[in-house]
Amino acid sequence: MSHVCGVWLGRVSRAGDRLDRVPSPPHRGRTARSGSRRPKGRDVKSNLLRNVLVGAIAVLVAGLLVTSGFLVRVLTEGDQEAAAVSTGVTTASKAKDDPTNYALLAEMAKIIAEDYVDPDKATPEALRDAAIKGIFDALDPHSAYIDPDSYALSRDDFEGAFEGIGATVSKEGDFVVISTPLPNTPAEKAGIKAGDQVLEVDGQSAEGWSVQLAVTKIRGPIGSKVTIKVKHKDGKIETFTISRDKIAVESVSRLPLFGGVLRDAAGDEVKDIAYVRIRSFSRSTPQEVEKTLKDINASGAKGIILDVRSNPGGLLQETIQIADMFLDGGQIFYQQDRSGRETGAVARSGALTNLPIVILQDEFSASGAELLAGALQENGRAKVIGTRSFGKGTVNHARDLSNGGAVYVSIGRWLTPKHNQIEGKGITPDYEVQMTLEELEARKDIPAQRAIDMLRGRPLPPPSKPVATATPTASATPRR
């Protein structure tokens, strides 16, 4: 039956075209073939056959008229209804096109929750999270919604201690990577290495995770365990089960990055150059740096290596205080807000030290680390050695939310003293050094060796050729 109906519906237009062109009955008289008259018996039969055919055609035409009339009515009334609906939508859309009318989102969420074919993907939580993600995807990579648990963890970052495995992380492409494992922490003891790509956490794929989500998944109470699958820089994949602990972080250290003592290219211990590593800018960092500089001034050192490699940044005012310690006046940075208005900070006269400085940075040096490097470099106070830095030059402000979370939003951009943009560009080193995998595995600190030679006034070998670093694909500020 459906097949027959299909055939008829497919031919309605042809029948309709022919309704006003029903052929006239054939002439009674001569046929086209012979011109002779038909016998009467044959005429009777012909008349009978003609009447039957005419009756059948009449029935058929009547059926087609009814069918066509029904279709015409449907199409006509449908057009009228569509026009009426369209007019209503046009009128209503003027009100609903108001971009501040967020009730439309609630209306769509209700429809999706009721009608979507896969209800597990249309839960209120899933739709809310997707809407939040969509909002921040339209902004820069440094603005984000921070859920209550993550917000509580992030506040611990600047208090000098947190509970977790003891590593800083950042985002490269679709994955979070380990910026650096902190010394004497569960991460370092387990074998986690700088540059490790986090593939899974507790069996969950980490692809596409934000830094905030990764931090939330990796951190946890003291004594609890977390299983992390990583891909090392050499391509080897390993899985570690690590017990979390309380990580007390001293933001300033005199211990070289690769441990042991500071050595030059010849392998000799260096005693005339001071080494200072700043891991982050927390509330206690200015006091730690001030004490360290006083010790250095009393030691008779001839220069300072200031190491901010893998420093993810931190608190702005504390960063300004530290830059001020090395400068005797001069602009530290400019801050440009959404209207283009500029403010900034100027160093006071009187530095805590006048020793020459070389700053070490890498592709994980971000935010405050870049502000410090740019301030000292462009004021002629320091040379920078290493690779181009991360390129995070936004000023971010956390606004508390009613659920205990926060909106972390970019409210301005940092510019260097010479008005160079940091965001997306980073700080370009004066001398490029890109370490090889072999040098890393041999724990040879080539950038530090070049810094020693520079401070001693010795000639340097040709710099490394610029290579692609994490910076072009990095999408979020490094975090613990």
The answer to whether 289 touches 322, Cβ cutoff 8 Å, is yes
Output the pLDDT for position 216: 82
- The terminus-to-terminus CA distance of the chain in angstroms comes to 70
Output the pLDDT for position 417: 98
Mean pLDDT along residues 276-286:
93
The answer to whether 272 touches 301, Cβ cutoff 8 Å, is yes
Q: What is the pLDDT of residues 6-62, one digit of tens each?
A: 322 232 333 333 333 333 334 333 333 334 444 444 444 445 445 544 454 444 444
H/E stretch holding 345: strand 342-346
Helix, strand, coil percent content, the chain, rounded in steps of 5:
40, 25, 40
Give me the DSSP letters along 173-200: TTEEEEEEEPTTSHHHHHT--TT-EEEE
C-alpha to C-alpha distance for 280 and 208, rounded to whole angstroms: 26
Locate 203 and state its tokens: 């069996």
**pLDDT band at residue 443, thresholds of 50, 70 and 90?**
confident
Mean pLDDT along residues 140-165:
78
446 Cβ contact list (under 8 Å, min separation 6): 433, 435, 439
Mean pLDDT along residues 172-201:
92
More confident residue, 436 or 268: 268
Output the pLDDT for position 440: 80
352 Cβ contact list (under 8 Å, min separation 6): 290, 293, 294, 297, 325, 326
**pLDDT band at residue 114, thresholds of 50, 70 and 90?**
very high
Q: Is residue 115 scored above 70 in pLDDT?
A: yes
Locate 417 and state its tokens: 């003293």
Q: Is residue 301 scored above 90 in pLDDT?
A: yes
Helix spans in 245-327 (H): 285-299, 316-326
Q: Is residue 327 scored above 80 in pLDDT?
A: yes
C-alpha to C-alpha distance for 445 and 386, rounded to whole angstroms: 11
346 Cβ contact list (under 8 Å, min separation 6): 329, 330, 331, 332
What positions carry a catalytic annotation? 367, 378, 392
Q: Is residue 212 scored above 80 in pLDDT?
A: no
Q: What is the pLDDT of residues 148-160, one digit of tens each?
A: 877 876 666 666 6
Locate 293 and state its tokens: 């500089």
Q: What is the pLDDT of residues 358-377, one digit of tens each?
A: 999 999 999 999 999 999 99
The answer to whether 321 touches 287, Cβ cutoff 8 Å, is no
Output the pLDDT for position 461: 87
Q: Is residue 273 scored above 50 in pLDDT?
A: yes
A 10 A CB-CB count for 93 gives: 10
CA angle 404, 391, 306 (to 5 degrees): 100
H/E stretch holding 434: none
Mean pLDDT along residues 389-410:
93
Percent of all residues in the chain with a pLDDT value above 70, rounded to a whole number: 75
More confident residue, 83 or 200: 200
Output the pLDDT for position 152: 76
Q: Is residue 95 scored above 80 in pLDDT?
A: no
Is the dihedral angle over the CA atoms 372, 376, 377, 382 positive or is it negative?
A: negative
Tokens 């097949």, located at residue: 3
C-alpha to C-alpha distance for 185 and 52, rounded to whole angstroms: 102
Instruction: Look up residue 239 and give its DSSP letter.
Output: E
A 10 A CB-CB count for 135 gives: 13
A 10 A CB-CB count for 428 gives: 15
Q: Which of the listed ranges 132-146, 349-363, 454-468 does the model predict with the highest average pLDDT?
A: 349-363
More confident residue, 14 or 298: 298
Output the pLDDT for position 463: 85
